[in-house]
Amino acid sequence: MRLDILNRGYSPKTKVVFGVVRLFSGRPLPDAAKLVFYRPDFYGDRAKEFTHEAMRGPSDWSVGDRELMAAYVSEVNGTAFCVGAHSACARLAYQDESRVAAVLADLESAPIEESLRATLRMLGTLTRDGAVGADDVRDVLAAGVSPKQVRDALAVCAAFTITDRLADAFGFEVLDRDGFDAGAKYLLKRGYR
């Protein structure tokens, strides 16, 4: 059930921003963007900064890798909006639709580097179970992932575990492929701020 707060409760200035976005893009603002405009002092500004740093800050993971991590965490959480949004971002970042589809269909047989597979496996465990142990982290390190890459991947997982919960609680509208692709182009160009 969709929470109505995403349909109302914005300042006149914010409503003008929404109108301008619709005018230039031909599409309404996605619910994820609407959420950060609602009470930006409480949630939105902090969420944008944290997510931007996790997804676009300095990292040895590529943008495509981090978008794939977001899509994978969202798949484990069963959050259709975020799977669609971040699958689209990963597809465009990699310029490889089959790679993203393969990971989401079956991580173990997907044609990806073992370091990324081990990291996604750890993120899946953390997402499903709410914890990982020392052995889980050792397995990732043994696959050639650096401690900084582990931290970066955990930041992506944290950002999207929160976003997934909010998407489900607020009943984010699932877009069609064109809508997700349009959002992905924006996110790849501008980031999460």
Quick one: pLDDT at residue 2? Answer: 66
Quick one: pLDDT at residue 94? Answer: 98
Mean pLDDT of the chain: 94
* Tens-place pLDDT, residues 31-84: 998 899 888 899 999 999 999 999 999 999 999 999 999 999 999 999 999 999
Look at the alpha carbons of 109, 111, 114, 115 in this order and tell me if their dihedral is positive or negative: negative
**Among 50, 59, 38, 33, which Cα is nearest to 160's?**
50
Quick one: pLDDT at residue 63? Answer: 98
Quick one: pLDDT at residue 134? Answer: 97
Arithmetic mean of pLDDT, 103-118 = 98
Is 90 exceeded by the pLDDT of residue 153?
yes
Please give the structure tokens belonging to residue 23: 């005018």
Give yes or no for a contact between 170 and 77, defined as CB atoms under 8 angstroms apart.
no
Asked which of 6-10, 120-124, 187-191 is least confident by mean pLDDT, the reply is 6-10
Quick one: pLDDT at residue 11? Answer: 87
Give yes or no for a contact between 50 and 138, defined as CB atoms under 8 angstroms apart.
no
pTM of the prediction?
A: 0.94
Quick one: pLDDT at residue 193? Answer: 87
Q: How confident is the model at residue 25 (pLDDT cuts 50, 70, 90)?
A: confident
**Among 170, 184, 169, which Cα is nearest to 85's?**
184
Proportion of the chain in helix, strand, coil states, percent, rounded to 5: 75, 0, 25
Q: How many CA atoms lie within 13 A of 51 on its CB side?
A: 23
